[in-house]
Structure 1
Amino acid sequence: MKLAPHLHRLGNDIVACHLIDTDEGITLIDAGLPGHWRDLQRELHTLGKSVDDIRGVVLTHGDTDHLGFAERLRADHGVPVFVHAADADRARQGEKSEVSFKPMRLAPTIGFFSYAISKNGLRPHYVGKVNEVQDGDVLDLPGSPVIVGTPGHSRGSVSVRVPLAGALFVGDALTTRHVLTGRKGPQPAPFTDDPSGAMSSLDRIAELPASWVLPGHGAPWNDSPAKLVEAVRAW
């Protein structure tokens, strides 16, 4: 789905990843769930493009609902996958700290896991080889993605700024739809390793220029990062 010039979304408010389309090729931000491969193919067809136009996948962190089809692109099509060094093991091997399912409501939680099952999310495909990035890196990919360290959800969580699209991709640094409660609107994300650290990272997000803020779960935010952070802090 096209959101703005150069900016497209795959998936929905439960799980989403994003595509940056440029004359130089395509950059993907996150890779959703394995079953989002079909969504990717449909979007590429709409654009008159193919997998051969994808130059790289940038992961906001190494959780399985963001790895999706990244390994398929890497292994079958030679597309490089980028992740922060602190989340490299998580992306390659599934390293994950203890997860809390509080707060939660039964129906939304069942809905989240049902959707994940429908997209083959219970059979994660870890990434065999990753390219490690650091805070402040500007990647040589279409749109020149800028890496902004926003640890908390995981040690290596990053936000990715793409000035060409006026977009800031925040992964699970925050959410606009809580997958376990169904509550809509800006709020802290669930399954966060270090909630205090995640709240501190909001300061970095608030200072960045963008007209779109794209979380991995929930509706896109078509306003400034500062206003979104203000809403999360007021939650």
Structure 2
Amino acid sequence: MTLSGGRRVGAPRLTPEVVPGVHRLEHAFTNCYLLVEGDSWTLVDAAFPNTWGALIRAAHELDLRMHDLQGIVLTHGHFDHVGFAERAVEELGVPVYVHAGDRELAAHPYRYRREHTPFVYPLLYPRSLPPVVGMLRAGALNVKGVEEVSELPSSGTLDLPGRPEVVFTPGHTFGHCGLLLRDRETLLTGDALVTLDPYKGVPGAQIVAGAATADSEQALASLDVISGTGARVLLPGHGEPWRDGAEAAVASARAIGRS
């Protein structure tokens, strides 16, 4: 499956400077973000096993060295965000951070609580097929859990490049966290709010379907936290950046509701 320009659907794509100092690496409809400060950098989320090579190429393109990676922050412990984290630990010795509520999930990223079986979604939502195929090609069934982690606090600023502030947004998982870049009015939302639900293939600011969400009511409640950040730009775990402000994104997500 390819796009009209010849790029395979779900192939890695680097978008430099989505906001100053932040670069987006998209692979198989899933986003990682590189927070750069001088020569040092932080990675937010680790996508899939096959994203590792794409990350190395992206770092080279941005004139970054892999050994200057100071930490990987996981917004949550699902397989499509844990990805190559264990490989980074083994090869680089880089610390991996995750909230205590998702520590067990990061070690066992397929053992997640959800409200509905995911297997009916491709039948109900045929537009989910490209994300499913892309994720499988990216190694979605071969993710190794990561056990050697440092725990994220529920709030506070991390001593990592980019100086991200932890924003606790449970619901998608019970330890889900976003990261606020206050000086850039930007919130990395993880899967607390996305602009493409891969389980439905439907664009728009929304919470993720119950096929992968532990508690949709809690996820909807966490939208208040997102709105309260006053962020101008939202960078989600799936989908394109949202540049119309947190309040508008939250209003859209509430209108769509749970699924």
TM-score of the aligned structures, taking structure 1 as reference length: 0.93
1:176 paired with 2:191, answer no
Aligned mates of 1:27, 1:167 — CA distance in 2? 15
Q: What is aligned with 2:176?
A: 157
Q: What is aligned with 2:248?
A: 227
Q: What is aligned with 1:56?
A: 71
Partner residue of 2:112 out of 90, 96, 108: 96
Partner residue of 2:229 out of 193, 208, 220: 208
Equivalences for residues 179-190 of structure 1 within 5 A: 179-190=198-209
1:107 paired with 2:114, answer no
Q: Deviations over 1:68-94 (max 9, x none)?
A: 111111111011000000100000123
Partner residue of 2:45 out of 24, 30, 39: 30
Aligned mates of 1:111, 1:171 — CA distance in 2? 20
Aligned mates of 1:61, 1:141 — CA distance in 2? 18
In the TM superposition, residue 128 of structure 1 has moved relative to its aligned partner by: 2.8
User: What number of residue pairs does the alignment pair up?
Assistant: 235
Equivalences for residues 59-78 of structure 1 within 5 A: 59-78=74-93
Aligned mates of 1:212, 1:29 — CA distance in 2? 16
In the TM superposition, residue 24 of structure 1 has moved relative to its aligned partner by: 5.3
Structure 1 residues not aligned, in runs of 5+: none
Aligned mates of 1:186, 1:98 — CA distance in 2? 20
RMSD: 1.7
- For the 8 Å contact 2:27–2:47, the answer to whether it is kept is no
The 1:13/1:206 distance shift into structure 2, 3 A limit, reads farther
1:86 paired with 2:101, answer yes
Aligned mates of 1:165, 1:71 — CA distance in 2? 30
The 1:165/1:22 distance shift into structure 2, 3 A limit, reads farther
Q: Secondary structure at the match of 1:137?
A: strand
The 1:131/1:168 distance shift into structure 2, 3 A limit, reads same
Instruction: Give the fraction of aligned pairs with identical amino acids, expressed as a percent.
Output: 35
Q: What is aligned with 2:144?
A: 125
Amino acid at match of 1:66: H
Q: Deviations over 1:21-41 (max 9, x none)?
A: 111510111111111112211
Query: Which runs of structure 1 show a deviation greater than 4 angstroms over 4 or more consecutive aligned residues?
Result: none
- For the 8 Å contact 2:132–2:198, the answer to whether it is kept is no
1:44 paired with 2:68, answer no
- For the 8 Å contact 1:12–1:218, the answer to whether it is kept is no
In the TM superposition, residue 232 of structure 1 has moved relative to its aligned partner by: 1.1
Structure 2 residues not aligned, in runs of 5+: 1-14
In the TM superposition, residue 103 of structure 1 has moved relative to its aligned partner by: 5.0
TM-score of the aligned structures, taking structure 2 as reference length: 0.85
- For the 8 Å contact 1:54–1:79, the answer to whether it is kept is yes
Amino acid at match of 1:96: Y
- For the 8 Å contact 1:92–1:130, the answer to whether it is kept is no
Q: Deviations over 1:26-76 (max 9, x none)?
A: 011111111111221121111111211110011110001001111111111
In the TM superposition, residue 231 of structure 1 has moved relative to its aligned partner by: 1.5
